[in-house]
Amino acid sequence: MSSTPSPTTPPDAVAADADREYQANLRRATLSSSVGSALEYFDFAMYGLMTALVFNQLFFDQSNPAMALIAAFGVYGVGFAARPIGGLVFGLLGDKVGRRFVLVTTIVLMGGSSMLIGVLPTYESVGALAPALLVVLRLAQGFGAGAEQAGSTVLMAEYAPVKRRGFFSALPFVGIQAGTLLAGLAFSALTLLPEEQFLSWGWRLPFLASVVLILVALWIRAKLEETPTFVHLEKREQTAERPLRDIFTKGLPGVVTGIGLRMAENGGSYLFQSVSLAFVTSAAIGLDRGSVAWGVTLGSLIGVFSVPLTGAISDKVGRVPVYRFGAVFMLVYSFPAWWMLSLGSTGLSIAVVAIGIGVAVNSMLGPQCAMLPELFGNRHRYLGVAMARELSAVLAGGLAGVLGASLMAWTDGNWIVLGLYMATLAAITTASTFLVPETRGRDLLRTEDAIRLSTTEKDSAYEAEAAVVPGSGAADETSSPARA
């Protein structure tokens, strides 16, 4: 990763140069991952907001508004269905040819699809072709997004210093909060437009603006170097020849556990971001759409601080205790949250959504950023993280909109049923935290998965830290030391 020093170069100067190069790459990796996360979640949060309040009106037959809403959330779920396929395809590439190539490809595919949504014709203009085109672009968007977050997660975990891996791995996920925050602000601003202008052209602007984030992300990622752990594999010719076989023979326990860990975090996120807005703006409750969307904005603002904070705390006390706190919090919060939403108070609804996103969801997201990469061995880490993230995205996030809208229609907006749905997701994740071993400080050069190890087994990452690959937790004579 660095140029060969002259034989006469003092050792201290070589170490200083290597350290400066590592710090520069760490900054690039953080910025690259953050921008990609911001783009993905800006698009997905904006799509969720538009699904409940715009797409159901513009892209579907209005003879049955309830079915139009369900159909709109169905297309929303289509994007999640494509994510595991994208995670599989790009995860294989990420473990065979490297993380950087995949991250450049996915940002173009994901961002380009989002931008094209902004120029789609509506149902009134072209009939059934409108939802068909929306489905195609939503599939492409989900296909690219399927590896984007997994890539960002793996990239930062493999670059981050061992003792602060939780904190550094969480930093790019501030991009998630920034993207969601930006989507909430943009949507709230657009709702100030007259209804006719908003539905005519105002909703298109955020999707067209995706091109700016695409260009910024490409510029940063063009300068990004490959991660130290993948370089370690390449040097020793240990890159996976059959990562797909490995993940289904050796890595399946980690994937299943990772899915369980994500059910409350991912499903809860989309329930608060989209289904709650559809619930409180329904005819039975009748709150203003723009006002309640501020709950998403405020929750994302809280997340800017709570995600890196919980990541840092997990460096001190471990990933599992912090993750379990978030899952239990959501479990306890589920029924009171939906009851308060049903009361029809704008201020209370904003607070409920903000706490749900900012505290319940993000207390799990913070430690998750390092925890998922630490669960998998080096040879199939990208694919393992992608499968755990994206299969859970279908089962939790993708179904959240369709099932949530269906439950609202079937029960006439019964808050107890929606609370039970969220509590079920939280219970699954809480149980999963008792199945996963503690992974804090794990050596990322190890090829076996953590889930196969005894929960009492200790990694030697801290003891070996004097001579490790930055962020890997393993010794390598060619690398600069990890920084505490």
Longest dimension (CA), the chain: 81
Report the pLDDT averaged over residues 91-117. 80
Residue 300 lies in a domain: yes
**In 236-318, which residue ranges form alpha helices assigned H by DSSP?**
243-249, 252-270, 276-280, 289-292, 294-317
- What value, to the nearest 5°, has the Cα angle with vertex 476 and ends 473 and 482? 45
- For residue 475, give the 3-state DSSP assignment: strand
Residue 449 lies in a domain: no
Global pTM?
Answer: 0.75
Report the pLDDT averaged over residues 377-399. 84
Residue 30 lies in a domain: yes
- What value, to the nearest 5°, has the Cα angle with vertex 151 and ends 149 and 153? 70
CB count within 10 Å of CB 164 equals 17
Task: Identify which of 247, 230, 263, 273 has the alpha carbon closest to the alpha carbon of residue 386.
Answer: 247
pLDDT of residue 248: 77
- What are the pLDDT digits (tens) for 216-245? 777 877 777 777 777 766 666 555 567 777
Report the pLDDT averaged over residues 79-83. 78
Q: How confident is the model at residue 463 (pLDDT cuts 50, 70, 90)?
A: very low
Residue 137 lies in a domain: yes
Alpha-carbon distances, residue 368 vs 3, 320, 323, 363, 431 (angstroms): 35, 9, 7, 9, 16
The total domain count for the chain is 1
Alpha-carbon distances, residue 144 vs 149, 151, 179 (angstroms): 10, 11, 17
Burial group, residue 472, by CB count within 10 angstroms (0-12, 13-18, 19+): buried
Residue 213 lies in a domain: yes
Q: How confident is the model at residue 483 (pLDDT cuts 50, 70, 90)?
A: very low
Question: How many whole angstroms separate alpha carbon 22 and alpha carbon 159?
Answer: 8
Residue 9 lies in a domain: no
CB 65 within 8 A of CB 131: no
Is the pLDDT score of 457 beyond 60? no
pLDDT of residue 479: 39
pLDDT of residue 305: 92
Tokens representing residue 44 in the block = 């997905």
- What are the pLDDT digits (tens) for 249-296? 778 899 999 999 999 999 998 899 888 888 888 867 878 767 777 888
**CATH number of the domain that 387 lies in?**
1.20.1250.20
Residue 455 lies in a domain: no
pLDDT of residue 230: 72
- What are the pLDDT digits (tens) for 428-451? 999 999 999 999 988 888 878 888
pLDDT of residue 484: 35
- What are the pLDDT digits (tens) for 305-321? 999 999 999 999 999 99
Residue range of the domain that includes 393: 14-435+463-467
Is the pLDDT score of 416 beyond 90? yes
Question: How many whole angstroms separate alpha carbon 272 and alpha carbon 295?
Answer: 9
Q: What sign has the CA pseudo-torsion 398, 404, 405, 406?
A: positive
pLDDT of residue 438: 93
pLDDT of residue 312: 95
Report the pLDDT averaged over residues 460-478. 40
Identify the DSSP state of 251.
S
- What are the pLDDT digits (tens) for 139-197? 888 888 777 777 878 888 888 888 899 998 888 778 777 887 788 788 878 888 888 88
Question: How many whole angstroms separate alpha carbon 483 and alpha carbon 29?
Answer: 16
Identify the DSSP state of 318.
-
Question: How many whole angstroms separate alpha carbon 323 and alpha carbon 335?
Answer: 20
Q: How confident is the model at residue 88 (pLDDT cuts 50, 70, 90)?
A: confident
Residue 364 lies in a domain: yes
